[in-house]
């Protein structure tokens, strides 16, 4: 279900929050497509670079996407590593502006962007919508996280209302996974 997309070997995919790379690996094995993985935690990014070192179609950027570039404190907690949790080993990570990263990577069109970035979606998605970058993305696979201190339900509602202007939700398991497809796609 999470790799069921209409993609080809010419497709470009962005995986925001790559962690161990399992999802990207599974998707690549189905479509042999170009994948850009963003993973801000140095040890996770290093493992991803090692895992995909012989695959020139998969690149790893050691950073998180955001609305503006900056340094941020994340806490390590396996697949729940985030800037929004209170326990775990502290790591300083780099956040890159999505606009600047898209330009640097020369991405004019993305077939699929997945977001499993432990709360980062509440900053990234509004930024993509406001800057018009969301219109360059055919499909989204989003995991919204239910962080109470972020007022996640209200934030998700605002984001999905805005995203619905350019994309249609085709699957929805709230605070688990959602699929969105661009309306003019």
Burial per residue of 86-97, b for 16 or more beta-carbon CB atoms within 10 angstroms, e otherwise: eeeeebebebbb
> How many domains would you assign to the chain?
1
Specify the pLDDT at position 92.
78
DSSP symbol at 77? B
Q: Which residue has the tokens 């502006």?
A: 97
What CATH number did the domain enclosing 107 receive?
A: 3.40.50.150
Residue 94 lies in a domain: yes
Question: Which DSSP helix (H) or strand (E) runs through 131?
Answer: helix 121-131
For 173, other C-beta atoms within 10 Å of its C-beta total 10
pLDDT of 33-62, one tens digit each? 999 999 998 988 999 999 999 999 999 999
Burial per residue of 25-59, b for 16 or more beta-carbon CB atoms within 10 angstroms, e otherwise: bebbeebebbbbbbbbbeebbebbbebbeeeeebe
Residue 157 lies in a domain: yes
| Residue 73 CB-density burial (10 A; 0-12 exposed, 13-18 middle, 19+ buried) | exposed
Residue 64 lies in a domain: yes
Specify the pLDDT at position 94.
87
Confidence bin at 71 (pLDDT 50/70/90):
confident
**Nearest alpha-carbon partner for 133 in 93, 60, 71, 182:** 182
Domain that holds residue 126: 12-182
Residue 1 lies in a domain: no
C-alpha 185/C-alpha 166 separation (Å) is: 10
Mean of the per-residue pLDDT values for the chain?
A: 90
Residue 7 lies in a domain: no
pLDDT of 100-154, one tens digit each? 999 999 999 999 999 988 778 999 999 999 999 999 999 999 999 886 666 889 9
Specify the pLDDT at position 129.
97
Residue 159 lies in a domain: yes
C-alpha 15/C-alpha 93 separation (Å) is: 17
C-alpha 169/C-alpha 14 separation (Å) is: 19
Specify the pLDDT at position 29.
97
- For residues 33 and 9, the answer to whether their CB atoms sit within 8 Å is yes
pLDDT(159) > 70: yes
Residue 2 lies in a domain: no
Residue 143 lies in a domain: yes
Say what the alpha-carbon torsion angle 28, 31, 33, 35 is, to the nearest 10 degrees. Answer: -30
Query: What is the pTM assigned to this prediction?
Result: 0.91
């Amino acid at each position: 279900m999470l790799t069921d997309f209409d993609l080809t070997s010419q497709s470009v995919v962005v995986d925001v929050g790559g962690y161990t790379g399992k999802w990207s690996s599974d998707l690549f094995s189905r479509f042999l497509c170009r994948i850009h993985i963003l993973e801000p935690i140095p040890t996770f990014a290093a493992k991803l670079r090692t895992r995909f070192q012989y695959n020139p179609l998969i690149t790893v950027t050691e950073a998180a996407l955001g609305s503006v570039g900056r340094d941020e404190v994340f806490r390590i907690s396996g697949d729940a590593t985030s800037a929004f949790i209170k326990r775990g080993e502290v790591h300083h990570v780099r956040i890159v502006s999505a606009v600047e990263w898209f330009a640097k990577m020369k991405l004019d069109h993305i077939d699929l962007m997945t977001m499993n970035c432990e709360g980062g979606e509440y900053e990234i998605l509004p930024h993509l919508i406001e800057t018009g970058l969301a219109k360059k993305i055919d499909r989204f696979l989003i995991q919204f996280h239910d962080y109470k201190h972020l007022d996640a339900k209200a934030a998700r509602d605002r984001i999905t209302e805005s995203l619905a202007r350019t994309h249609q939700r085709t699957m929805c398991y709230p605070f688990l996974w959602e699929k969105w497809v661009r309306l003019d796609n």
